[in-house]
Amino acid sequence: MPAQSKHPTLIHKLDRLRWLVAILGSKMNAGWWDCSFMDETGIKFMMNSFPRSATSAAFNATTEAAQRVHDAALGRIGCYHLFRLPLTIEDRLFEASESDGDLLSKGAAMAELASMADASINAPDGPVQIGVEKKILTETSLRELAAHYHSAFLKGTRCYPYFSTEA
């Protein structure tokens, strides 16, 4: 989290949520996407091509893989998900991105995700609508996203929480 404040903004929390899900969904953990950039070996590999920004490159590549998996499960029309949000939010995420974050173990990432969720749920397998576009950037939505991903990673299932474009 940024050193600027003890109270991170919603954008910083959303960025951190992406970071955690990128780690947990990677090939070496849940295997939702077929890439392994979010570990020490992946970072070392990225350093060959991106010596100054290896972690950022690894995060961006993993985010792209996650986006493709989510889009395949949900479609691209009529919904938004953690890895493809409205352009205004994506722009703010890009500006606030901390893609040089720490590489966490699976246990540490799960613990942080659980604390973001703030509640335990039984997420369904597959797509599940958790809100609408205008509510994406709220504390409640971030907790819902975190809770659904946490539940899915715990159960070993794939849950794709999304927001509808219409109310």
Over residues 15-29, the pLDDT tens digits come to 999 999 999 999 999
What is the average pLDDT across 71-89?
95
Amino acid sitting at position 68: R
In this prediction, residue 8 has a pLDDT band, given cuts at 50, 70 and 90, of confident
What is the Cα–Cα distance from 48 to 36, expressed in whole angstroms? 15
The pTM score is: 0.91
Over residues 94-106, the pLDDT tens digits come to 888 765 678 889 9
Q: Which long-range contacts (CB under 8 A, 24 or more apart) does 48-53 make?
A: 53/100
Point out which residues pair with 147 in neighbouring strands. Answer: none
The β-bridge relationship of strands 159-164 and 126-132 is: parallel
Q: How far apart are the first and last CA of the chain?
A: 32
Over residues 133-152, the pLDDT tens digits come to 999 999 999 999 999 999 99
